[in-house]
Amino acid sequence: MCNSDQFVSSIDPLHPANLIPQLCENMYRQGWVTGTGGGISIRDNNVAYVAPSGVQKERINPEDMFVLTVNDRSVVRAPGRGLKESACTPLFFNAFSIRGALSCIHTHSQNTVMATLLWGKEFRISHQEMIKGVRKGGMSDALTYLDTLVVPIIENTPNEEDLMEGMAEAMHKYPNAPGVLVRRHGIYVWGPTWEKAKAQTECIDYLCELGVKMRLAGMRTVPDDGEAVIP
C-alpha cells in the first residue's frame, strides 16, 4: 500500500476523486446519506474509488478517497488521519465482479426502507414511465413501459460486510434486477457508468416512493398482480 496522491490530485472535475464528493453532497441533499450512511464507488480502469467510512457525506474531500484494485480489492491509496475503509466496499465490488458495472451506489433512502417494510421478497411495480429509465440487470437494454420492474429484497445482517453473500445470491437469482433492496436498511444500485448508476438510482427511488404512496392509498403497483393491498 502506498499513499501516492497522484490518484486524488486531478484538476478534471469529472475525475472520480473530484466527482464522488460532488455526488455525495447531492445525495445528502436528497436525504439518502444522512448520518454518514451510504455512498458511491466509481471504477477507473483497474482501480475503484470509494469514500471512507463514517464521514459526513456532504463534506468529503478528494484526498479522503480510498483507491483499491478492482482485481483483488487491495488498497493502493489510503487517506491519512485515521480514516477507515467503508464497510460497503465488498458490496460495491459485487456489482463490479458479477455485473461488470463501473459504478455502484448505496443509499439509506426512507423510500427504499419503507418499500422493504411493505413488500415481501420482491418490490414490484409496472406501468410507470420511470421504469423506462432502468436497464435489464442495470447494464443492458432499458426496460420498456410494458415490463414489470422487480427488485429483490434481502434480509439485513448485523455487519454490512455479511450482506455480500446474500447480495451476490440475489444478483445471480435475479439476473435482470438493476439493484438489490436490503430490508430495514436501503438499496444498492449499479450501472455501466456513474451517470447511469445515478440515473437508475433516482428512477428506482422514485418508483419506491410512488409505490409506497400507492400502497398506503390502497392501490396496487402491479395492476393485475395478486399482491395484497392494505385495506
Would you give the end-to-end CA distance of the chain in angstroms? 57
Q: Least distance from C-beta 156 to a second copy, angstroms? A: 6
Residues near 153 by beta carbon (within 8 Å), at least 6 away in sequence: 115, 116, 119, 120, 121, 122, 123, 180, 181, 182, 183
Q: Which is nearer to a second copy, 35 or 120 (CB)?
A: 35
Q: Least distance from C-beta 64 to a second copy, angstroms? A: 13
Contact present, 41 and 89 (Cβ < 8 Å)? yes
Q: Which is nearer to a second copy, 19 or 67 (CB)?
A: 19
Q: Least distance from C-beta 193 to a second copy, angstroms? A: 11
Q: Least distance from C-beta 129 to a second copy, angstroms? A: 4
Strands 186-191 and 179-182 turn out to be antiparallel
* Selected catalytic residue, list 25, 58, 129, 155: 129
Q: Which is nearer to a second copy, 25 or 44 (CB)?
A: 25
CA–CA dist 75, 57 (Å, integer): 21
Catalytic, 129? Answer yes
Residue 172 annotated in ligand binding: no
CB crowding 64-100: b at 16 or more within 10 Å, else e: bbbbbeeeebeebbbbeeebebbebbbbbbbbbeebe
Question: Does the CA dihedral 180-44-142-171 come out positive or negative?
Answer: negative
Q: Which is nearer to a second copy, 7 or 126 (CB)?
A: 126
Q: Which is nearer to a second copy, 44 or 202 (CB)?
A: 202
CA–CA dist 4, 132 (Å, integer): 42
Residue 127 annotated in ligand binding: no
Residue type for position 63: E
The rounded Cα 13 to chain-centroid distance in angstroms is 22
What residues make contact with a second copy under the rule CB under 8 A?
26, 34-37, 54-56, 58, 108, 110, 113-114, 117-118, 127-130, 133, 144-146, 156-158, 182, 184-186, 195, 198-200, 202-203, 205-206, 209-210, 213-214, 216-219, 230
Q: Least distance from C-beta 154 to a second copy, angstroms? A: 13
Which three cell numbers, joined as nine digits, stand for 4? 501516492
CA–CA dist 153, 68 (Å, integer): 28
Annotated binding site for substrate, which residues? 88
- Catalytic residue numbers read 129
Annotated binding site for Zn(2+), which residues? 106, 108, 185
